[in-house]
Amino acid sequence: MSNRPLGSAFADAGDGIVRALREEPNFRIQLVIALVALAGAAWLHFSVAQWLVVVLIIGIVLAAELFNTCLEHVVDLIQPEDHPLARFAKHAGAGAVLVASLSALVVGLLLYGPALAAWIHSR
């Protein structure tokens, strides 16, 4: 077990996020979508329960994207040449992000759909 200070662990985690922002276009796309979702939740005056769901699903999608990035880099480090198992690992990681993103889409439709319909009817 490491005896590193907690601050160092947070700094390393922050570095990973900053590098993903700089180097991973898909992470930036997911982050922009997250910001739009947060703005929409504020605009539609979501309840605390709705906010909890939105924040949780955003965290799941962004974490999945970071895990996928990590997996891709580790696979490239261990197996730089093309290999069926390396390809499968990368595809499975991308599939995990897709599952999280599609789940977020369904949750978004269930949360934002009725809220938008209520807003439209109130006009």
Among candidate residues 65, 54, 118, the one with its CA nearest the CA of residue 94: 65
Q: What is the rounded CA–CA span in Å between residue 48 and residue 32? A: 22
Specify if 1 maps to a domain: no
The whole domain housing 50 covers: 6-121
Specify if 10 maps to a domain: yes
Q: Which residues are catalytic?
A: 65
Specify if 90 maps to a domain: yes
What's the mean per-residue pLDDT of the chain? Answer: 95
Specify if 52 maps to a domain: yes
Specify if 36 maps to a domain: yes
The end-to-end CA distance of the chain, in Å, is 60
Coil, strand, or helix at residue 1?
A: coil
Across 66-90, average pLDDT = 96
Sign of CA dihedral 46, 50, 53, 56: positive
The answer, yes or no, to whether residue 1 has pLDDT greater than 80, is no
Q: Are 20 and 64 in contact (CB under 8 A)?
A: no
Specify if 116 maps to a domain: yes
Q: What is the rounded CA–CA span in Å between residue 93 and residue 65? A: 9
How many domains does the chain divide into? 1
Instruction: Residue 14: give its domain's CATH number.
Output: 1.10.287.3610
Q: Are 32 and 104 in contact (CB under 8 A)?
A: no
Across 54-62, average pLDDT = 98
